[in-house]
């Protein structure tokens, strides 16, 4: 159980793209990272601005979370994610915004990430994430998601700090 009122909350999405060439080219030579890196954005505005996060955003009326995550990644960094797969879901509650956040993992994409008005993208090795400049609760679940796992969580923040954290791994996450 996520939260008794989770169904009533606005929905948002996050995309965690993992890329790694199997060829031996050093990072950057063919425009793609060499081994197991993940794409994060430095958010320029909105919820969590200034932090490193996965690209994503709020689900619009009539849109599924999967459609939203594809649209948001295109808007924020100009690439098309081809195989978003549901990897987790969490309820976020804070002093000023509550949401249910659908987390996707992807490995296939078309295009090259570019800076936009909303976001500055960068690749990070999956085992060297900028955790001190990310949502504190990302460290609970992001390594698991990048490794292909699933989770369900409930994160209550107060004054910008996690006040109540509950995560379960290896769960069935309904795909939508």
Ligand X SMILES: CNc1ncnc2c1ncn2[C@@H]1O[C@H](COP(=O)(O)OP(=O)(O)OP(=O)(O)O)[C@@H](O)[C@H]1O
The residue nearest ligand X at its CB is 57
**Residue 126 CA from chain centroid, whole number:** 13
**Structural contact between residues 88 and 150, judged by C-beta atoms closer than 8 angstroms:** yes
- By CB under 6 A, tell whether 12 contacts ligand X: yes
Beta carbon of residue 118, minimum distance to ligand X (angstroms, whole number) = 7
- By CB under 6 A, tell whether 131 contacts ligand X: no
Backbone Cα Rg of the chain? 15
Give the residue, chosen from 79, 81, 92, 141, that forms a contact with ligand X under the rule CB under 6 A.
92
Beta carbon of residue 96, minimum distance to ligand X (angstroms, whole number) = 11
Give the interface size with ligand X as a residue count (CB under 6 A).
Answer: 19
- By CB under 6 A, tell whether 148 contacts ligand X: no
Give dist(CA 110, CA 108) in Å, integer: 7
- By CB under 6 A, tell whether 34 contacts ligand X: no
Give dist(CA 53, CA 101) in Å, integer: 13
- By CB under 6 A, tell whether 38 contacts ligand X: no
- By CB under 6 A, tell whether 101 contacts ligand X: yes
What's the helix, strand, coil split of the chain in %, to 5?
15, 40, 45
Tell me the pairing of strands 161-169 and 109-110.
unpaired
Site for ligand X, rule CB under 6 A: 12-14, 45-48, 53, 56-58, 72, 92, 99, 101, 135, 137-138, 155
């Amino acid at each position: 159980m996520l939260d008794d009122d989770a169904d009533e909350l606005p929905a948002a999405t996050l995309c965690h793209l993992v890329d790694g060439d199997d060829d031996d080219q050093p990072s950057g030579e063919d425009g793609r990272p060499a081994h197991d890196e993940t794409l994060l954005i430095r958010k320029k505005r909105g919820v969590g601005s200034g932090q490193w996060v996965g690209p994503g955003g709020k689900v619009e009326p009539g849109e599924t979370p999967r459609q939203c995550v594809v649209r948001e990644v295109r808007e924020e960094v100009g690439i098309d994610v081809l195989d978003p797969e549901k990897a987790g879901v969490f309820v976020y509650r804070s002093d000023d915004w509550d949401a249910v956040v659908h987390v996707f993992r992807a490995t296939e994409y078309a295009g090259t990430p570019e800076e936009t008005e909303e976001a500055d993208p960068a690749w990070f090795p999956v085992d060297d994430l900028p955790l001190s400049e990310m949502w504190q609760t990302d460290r609970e679940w992001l390594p698991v998601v990048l490794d292909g796992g699933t989770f369900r969580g409930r994160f209550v923040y107060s004054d910008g700090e996690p006040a109540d954290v509950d995560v379960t791994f290896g769960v069935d996450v309904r795909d939508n």
